[in-house]
A and B are shown apart, each in its own frame.
Chain A
Amino acid sequence: MAGKVIVVTSGKGGVGKTTTVANIGTTLAKKKYNVVLVDGDIGLRNLDVVMGVENRIVYNLVDIIEGKCRKEQAMIRDRKLNNLFIIPSAQTRDKDSVQPEQMKQLCEELAKEFDFVLIDCPAGIEQGFRNAIAGAAAAVVVTTPEVSAIRDADRVIGLLEASLLKEIHLIVNRLNQRMVKKGDMMSTEDIVSLLAVPLLGVVPESEEVVISTNRGVPLVHERGSKAGQAFQLIAARLQGENIPVDMGNNGSFLGRMKRLIWNS
């Protein structure tokens, strides 16, 4: 059976796409699935450093597409998991060096060998976005609880729907529970009702994310990390497990009363 191709996208930059790809991919690989992560951000290579494999790049995505190497030659094996691979993007090439049709073909080939093909989409809605979504059967839209990220997510969801991508999931990243409780951040419920896409999970704002990125070791390798656990749950849901989502804001009774008074 062919594997599943999933694109992780957002519209707005810097909301956590690469972090999400690294952590979901690592979790799925730890569960013994064969996984390949594709850095679709041509010109702004990032997934390699987040995964800690930046020193082992020989060939890249554009090389595969231009026929300069076989795809196996460009795949880098993960440092810890031998069923997890990374295809780095080209750092010195233009987004236009790849066409959607070529991406689609590559995704089809990868899906024959892997259970999951995760594509790290560049920010924006131009050529790079169209390339990244071309071969995907499902999309994970990442947003933060901020107005600009949500607006861009809505735009991206519209474009995904227009390109007939039916399976769309939402991740709310960098939720700050303290601010939600104070009423100074939109809650997960607010965001879900605005965007009207099923929620895959909520990742808290966490220093651990920055630290694990510094080390180039995805957070899900760490035990006892809240954000890491959130990513593990997300991966489990993505792979079909039915686990209810903790909206991340079931505050105290006092907090609810305060909100009731303030918001009325």
Chain B
Amino acid sequence: MRYSSFTPYDIVLLLQGLGVSVGLFLATSLIGLLLGTVWAVIRYYRVPGLWQLMSFLAELLKNSPVLVQLFLVFFGFPAFFRVNMTPVEAATLTLSLNTAAFVYVIAVSAVESVGRDQIEAARVFGLSRWQVLRHVIGPQASAFAVGPLVALLVNQLQVTSLISVIGVVDLTKVGNILNLRTLKPFIVWTVVGLLYYAAAKLIAMLGTRLENRLRAHSAWKGL
């Protein structure tokens, strides 16, 4: 067997790469969802100083390339703050913050989509701001946000491919390695692309199921 031909072990490599991509995606999505939601709650309470800071941070993260953010964190932070960072740590930090920024934007518009009049009614009946968030705004805002959130997550999965440039051996990096070895770019990148596609489809499918669940209690929407 020639060095440049495909071997069964390449499948293991590809699956490992996929595992790293999906693992990182899951971890950063979870952190991003939590963090973005917390930011949105801080904004809801208009915590002085803090909420303007959150908005500004979200703006920055949303309007600059992820690749640049990644370089800043991986190369810039160690140089400036004198901290050591592995590629995986840098990737996790960057992608989590980036996801959080977009989650924040979606959550804020979801909260704003809930009619003022209902919120006033709930306040007049004595519900605290937290109770209003929990019982009136939350359920309606999540039904509103789940569509955009799923679209965001599908996109963030693709964005994980950028981390290969700082040396994380994700699916794209594995593709790169195989490509250099076999010199069959068409086959390699088709397979890699299809694997991303399958993972994205899976996320979209789970998302649609969740969306239907969340909207089931709001049968009023369909009327």
Q: Do A and B come from one complex?
A: no
A residues touching B (Cβ–Cβ < 8 Å)? none
B residues touching A (Cβ–Cβ < 8 Å)? none
